[in-house]
């Protein structure tokens, strides 16, 4: 059994999430590498591949955080025009320091009200955003709105494995090991208690695909990675 939920009520969630990431910003990259056993950058490369970026494409990385996906887009596609949007200034400041020549346009904005006109981008992606929003459908609807017809939207997120044995391993890892590890490595234990609980309420991959279809996405596909603990969804506008 999971311990009682420390998740905030929906009306407090955006402030809670923003404070949590503002506080974790300086340690975020290091914690990511450790908690994913060094796999997280490989998954971000898969996100960029799934975007099918063409030369000169306009790409939006929603909830860019410390900009690892946005930087990967530029590494693979130096001609792309990349925007990183996030509502936590402190996370983007770390990202800006990793982009000294200023190739990424960092914009402060909410994933539920993206500050861009309709059809502004050829591809829109997000990594580890969707668990944090109060309305997953509304977030996908915004991504759909700002993507041009024929463009792609790609979503990378943690998910719960379907196989019983891996479910138990996942539970042990996220509920027991991750909070201890984070308590050891950082002062922000809250963040890594929130993390496992937020995965419990998050739709499983088939349901997430269904939400994407309900918004209007076509040809929605998904695959799981890392023993079913990570899901990569792709949809076309
Ligand atoms: C787990 S981090 C992921 C950062 C980055 N995408 C990555 O791959 O490492 C989640 C990010 O989502 C941002 N975020 C959460 N909810 C958001 C919202 N409603 N609007 C904009 N950004 C949001 C947080 O500020 C944080 O930077």
Q: Which helix (H) or strand (E) holds 213?
A: helix 205-215
Question: 67 C-alpha vs ligand 1 centroid, how far in Å?
Answer: 10
User: At residue 149, what are phi and psi to the nearest 5 degrees?
Assistant: -55, 135
Dump the DSSP string for 108-165: E-BTTB-SS-TT-EEEEEEES-GGGSS-HHHHHHHHHHHEEEEEEEEEEEE---SSHH
Indicate which atom in ligand 1 lies nearest the CA of residue 91. 27
Report the pLDDT value the prediction gives residue 185, as an integer from 0 to 100: 56
The residue whose CA has the least distance to atom 1 of ligand 1 is: 128
Indicate which atom in ligand 1 lies nearest the CA of residue 64. 6
Instruction: Label each residue of 1-55 as H, E or C.
Output: CCCCCCCCCHHHHHHHHHHHHHHHHHHHHHHHHHHCCCCHHHHHHHHHHHHCCCC
Residues in the ligand 1 pocket, defined by CB under 6 Å: 14, 17, 21, 63-66, 68-69, 86-88, 91, 110-112, 127-129, 132-133
Question: 222 C-alpha vs ligand 1 centroid, how far in Å?
Answer: 21
pLDDT tens for 18-59 read 998 998 899 889 888 888 888 999 999 999 999 999 999 999
Question: 74 C-alpha vs ligand 1 centroid, how far in Å?
Answer: 19
Dump the DSSP string for 55-68: TT-EEEEET-TT-H
Length of the chain: 237
Helix (H, G, I), strand (E, B) or coil at 220: strand
Is the pTM value of this prediction over 0.85? yes
Report the pLDDT value the prediction gives residue 3, as an integer from 0 to 100: 47
The residue whose CA has the least distance to atom 4 of ligand 1 is: 65
Report the pLDDT value the prediction gives residue 94, as an integer from 0 to 100: 98
Sketch the domain layout of the chain as residue ranges.
Answer: 10-163+190-236
Low-confidence ranges of the chain (pLDDT < 70): 1-5, 181-192
The residue whose CA has the least distance to atom 7 of ligand 1 is: 127
CA distance 32 to 28: 6
CATH number for 10-163+190-236 (one of 3.40.50.150, 3.40.50.2000, 1.10.3210.10, 3.40.50.740): it is 3.40.50.150
CA distance 169 to 174: 9
């Amino acid at each position: 059994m999971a311990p009682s939920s420390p998740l905030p009520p929906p009306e407090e969630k955006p402030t809670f999430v923003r404070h949590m990431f503002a506080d974790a910003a300086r340690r975020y990259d290091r914690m990511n590498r450790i908690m994913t056993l060094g796999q997280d950058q490989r998954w971000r490369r898969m996100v960029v591949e799934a975007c099918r970026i063409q030369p000169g494409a306009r790409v939006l990385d929603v909830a860019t955080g410390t900009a690892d996906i946005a930087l990967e887009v530029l590494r693979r596609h130096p001609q792309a025009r990349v925007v990183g949007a996030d509502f936590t200034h402190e996370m983007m400041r770390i990202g800006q320091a990793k982009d000294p020549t200023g190739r990424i346009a960092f914009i402060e904005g909410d994933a539920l009200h993206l500050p861009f006109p309709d059809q502004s981008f050829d591809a829109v992606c997000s990594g580890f955003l969707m668990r944090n929003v109060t309305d997953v459908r509304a977030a996908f609807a915004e991504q759909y709105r700002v993507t041009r017809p024929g463009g792609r939207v790609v979503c990378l997120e943690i998910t719960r494995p379907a196989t019983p044995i891996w479910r138990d391993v996942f539970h042990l890892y996220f509920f027991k090991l991750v909070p201890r590890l984070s308590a050891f490595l950082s002062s922000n234990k809250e963040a890594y208690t929130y993390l496992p609980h937020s995965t419990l309420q998050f739709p499983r991959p088939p349901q997430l695909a269904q939400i994407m279809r309900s918004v209007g996405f076509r040809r929605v596909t998904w695959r799981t990675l890392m023993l079913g603990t990570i899901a990569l969804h792709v949809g076309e506008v």
